[in-house]
Chain A
């Protein structure tokens, strides 16, 4: 993107890169080369520093020497002031990279006696430029001349000539000006310097101050027209081109573990997408930070770099607390994989937070950024601004393929989903932690509210903090609703008891059956025995009867033998019988 713009601008307008972080992006390459630029703003807004950094970066990065003509501060003061930003001016002066020239005019020493011009200033500036072959010039603050020289007519004419002369010289110049009441500058310098006008601002809203920069005008070039926050810190100026370049992020199909196995299972068993934005929201004390810490630990174990912004706890407190659930973060901090950035949200304005985030991310180059929690930014009714800021952060992180995890505290009064609706559209994976109050007990439940691009589980899991970290359990869903905590345990015990009882019942029935079978079998045996005894007795009787019959028969025969007459008749009868 940047490259394209640069090639286009080369054809139209040559630009001189400032080397100021972010500024070259919003101006698509820097300040107009060979032309003067007006930088104006109220006192203490950073005009001098802007100019100084332009020169120092020019001298060190782009090999373009520069002249700093100061109308306010002496050379010694300047050197001291910018030393705090890590600029070694004395060294640069020694190497003829930078020339300082302090122009001092004392009104009381000066008497005006007729016609004059400012050729002296031209000669001085020209001499300074020529002495080091300067390509860049800063005049800070030329408006002081108005206080020193009484004849405004001459002065204005001369200033006009000066700016034209600068253009002719082909040096890129920054002219600073104090902000006026109605006009951009007190003396209307914008009339003379019309190629590029930058306004710096230092505003206080809700007791926090934010520095902002705006390119009011830039002839012959595209430029961002927004107000961009900037910050001045130990590494100098940085401007944030935060309203980003559109939704053109590269997306990754890589999945990374959330650090909680059961949670990964809820997300197709793989976890979050790399470069996605995860929001963990919930009421107070539901374990948002624990989820974040798990994620951080898992990432560090994979050897990734994690930047952890904590806005409510100090890093030490956070590490101590996480130790209690078995997450040890100290070793990773010592190894340099994990870095904490702890600041109070109220410490500076939103834009500044954004700026700090940018800087920290650019410096640490993390794979994962955690912000815990984000909603502490919302002070008063700035929700819209917070949303914009978060959007910028999300965009910025996505662009860099950084996975972001935000935690957000939702108030108990509003519904869980609505309070975060402001940013929900920015979020790819949204985990909701919620309280489940039942039977005088407060338990935690977790579910995946949404997760773009994956078939996530729709189940509520009970969220338990143990000595070994977070555990997710399946909750009991029955006729009386979702049961968690001891109610779930009781229900489970109940179920277990019922089961046991049934098992016992079966056992008992089996035994009964067995007993019956045995009873039956013994009965059968007894009957067998009885039968046997009866049988043998019967057989015996039968035998005896038979014997008796036989005996009688024999007796009859014997009798017949004795009585021959009867024998014939009896023989016939006997045959029939037998």
Chain B
């Protein structure tokens, strides 16, 4: 219940500019500790890196199992960057911030 409301609030957040819109999806299965950690980590990273130009959709596969096929979800939690293309997938609870940033192309590895 709590999560559903979270989803709604975040979805409502409009992206500022269309060119730089980031569409992120977080797939989880229920409110497992890993899911909650992932969500917290994601919010934190987005707030730091993509202030105001992102939307996050949280999809609970326990509620909507058929949605997993769309993005070929196996591992949970998985974060999918739908926009900007190319699609990137980041699996795990996003606790390794540096790798998340690399995965989202927000950080170049030098």
Residues of A within 8 A of B86 (CB): 109
Contact assessment for B99 and A113 in the assembled complex, using a CB-CB cutoff below 8 Å: yes
Contact assessment for B34 and A116 in the assembled complex, using a CB-CB cutoff below 8 Å: yes
Tell whether A109 pairs with B93 under 8 Å between CB atoms, given A103-B72, A116-B77, A120-B73: no
Task: Type the 1/0 row for B61-103, where 1 means its CB is closer than 8 Å to any CB of A.
Answer: 1100110110011111110000000111111111110011011
Contact assessment for A120 and B75 in the assembled complex, using a CB-CB cutoff below 8 Å: yes
Tell whether A116 pairs with B76 under 8 Å between CB atoms, given A101-B69, A109-B89, A123-B62: yes
Task: Type the 1/0 row for A551-562, where 1 means its CB is closer than 8 Å to any CB of B.
Answer: 000000000000
Measured as residues with beta carbon below 8 angstroms from the partner, the interface class of chain A is 20 to 34
Contact assessment for A127 and B66 in the assembled complex, using a CB-CB cutoff below 8 Å: yes
Contact assessment for A120 and B90 in the assembled complex, using a CB-CB cutoff below 8 Å: no
Contact assessment for A119 and B88 in the assembled complex, using a CB-CB cutoff below 8 Å: no
A250 CB → nearest B CB, Å:
55
A112, A118, A119, A120: the one within 8 Å of B99 (CB): A112
- Report the separation of the CA atoms of residues A124 and B61 in the bound assembly, to the nearest whole angstrom: 9
B52 CB → nearest A CB, Å:
23
Residues of B within 8 A of A117 (CB): 34, 75-76
Contact assessment for B92 and A124 in the assembled complex, using a CB-CB cutoff below 8 Å: no
Tell whether A124 pairs with B93 under 8 Å between CB atoms, given A117-B76, A119-B29: no
Contact assessment for B94 and A113 in the assembled complex, using a CB-CB cutoff below 8 Å: yes
Residues of A within 8 A of B94 (CB): 113-114
Chain B residue nearest in CB terms to A109:
B89
- Report the separation of the CA atoms of residues A118 and B78 in the bound assembly, to the nearest whole angstrom: 10
Tell whether A114 pairs with B95 under 8 Å between CB atoms, given A120-B29, A123-B62: yes
Residues of B within 8 A of A112 (CB): 90-92, 99
A132 CB → nearest B CB, Å:
13
Interface residues of A in 121-162 (CB under 8 A from B): 121, 123-124, 126-127, 145, 148-149
**How many residues on the B side are at the interface (Cβ–Cβ under 8 A)?**
34
Contact assessment for B93 and A113 in the assembled complex, using a CB-CB cutoff below 8 Å: yes
A538 CB–B CB distance under 8 Å: no
B27 CB–A CB distance under 8 Å: yes
- Report the separation of the CA atoms of residues A114 and B103 in the bound assembly, to the nearest whole angstrom: 12
- Report the separation of the CA atoms of residues A565 and B77 in the bound assembly, to the nearest whole angstrom: 203
Residues of A within 8 A of B76 (CB): 116-120, 123
A111, A119, A123: the one within 8 Å of B100 (CB): A111
- Report the separation of the CA atoms of residues A121 and B78 in the bound assembly, to the nearest whole angstrom: 12
Residues of B within 8 A of A103 (CB): 72, 74
Q: How many residue pairs between the two chains, A and B, have CB atoms under 8 Å in the bound complex?
A: 98
- Report the separation of the CA atoms of residues A127 and B63 in the bound assembly, to the nearest whole angstrom: 11
Chain B residue nearest in CB terms to A122:
B29
Contact assessment for B91 and A110 in the assembled complex, using a CB-CB cutoff below 8 Å: yes
B37, B65, B72, B77: the one within 8 Å of A127 (CB): B65
Contact assessment for B27 and A120 in the assembled complex, using a CB-CB cutoff below 8 Å: yes
- Report the separation of the CA atoms of residues A121 and B66 in the bound assembly, to the nearest whole angstrom: 11
Contact assessment for A104 and B72 in the assembled complex, using a CB-CB cutoff below 8 Å: yes
Contact assessment for B89 and A111 in the assembled complex, using a CB-CB cutoff below 8 Å: yes
Tell whether A113 pairs with B68 under 8 Å between CB atoms, given A118-B76, A120-B75, A121-B74: no
Contact assessment for A109 and B88 in the assembled complex, using a CB-CB cutoff below 8 Å: yes
User: Which residue among A104, A127, A148 has the maximum number of chain B CB atoms within 10 Å of its CB?
Assistant: A127
Residues of A within 8 A of B74 (CB): 103, 105, 118, 120-121, 124, 145, 148-149
Residues of B within 8 A of A149 (CB): 74-75, 91
Contact assessment for B93 and A116 in the assembled complex, using a CB-CB cutoff below 8 Å: yes
Residues of A within 8 A of B65 (CB): 123-124, 126-127
- Report the separation of the CA atoms of residues A123 and B68 in the bound assembly, to the nearest whole angstrom: 8
User: Which residue among A110, A116, A124 has the maximum number of chain B CB atoms within 10 Å of its CB?
Assistant: A116
Contact assessment for A111 and B88 in the assembled complex, using a CB-CB cutoff below 8 Å: yes
Chain A residue nearest in CB terms to B97:
A113
A182 CB–B CB distance under 8 Å: no
- Report the separation of the CA atoms of residues A230 and B87 in the bound assembly, to the nearest whole angstrom: 44
B62 CB → nearest A CB, Å:
7
A115 CB–B CB distance under 8 Å: yes
Chain B residue nearest in CB terms to A148:
B74
- Report the separation of the CA atoms of residues A123 and B92 in the bound assembly, to the nearest whole angstrom: 17
Contact assessment for B69 and A114 in the assembled complex, using a CB-CB cutoff below 8 Å: no
Chain A residue nearest in CB terms to B60:
A123
A110, A113, A116, A120: the one within 8 Å of B61 (CB): A120
13 contacting pairs across A/B (C-beta < 8 A): A109-B87, A111-B89, A111-B90, A111-B102, A112-B90, A114-B37, A116-B78, A120-B27, A120-B75, A124-B65, A126-B65, A149-B75, A149-B91
Known: A113-B99, A120-B76. 10 other contacts (CB 8 A): A103-B72, A114-B93, A116-B76, A117-B76, A120-B29, A120-B68, A124-B61, A124-B73, A127-B65, A149-B74
Q: Chain B: residues with CB nearer than 8 A to chain A?
A: 27, 29, 32, 34, 37-38, 61-62, 65-66, 68-69, 72-78, 86-96, 99-100, 102-103
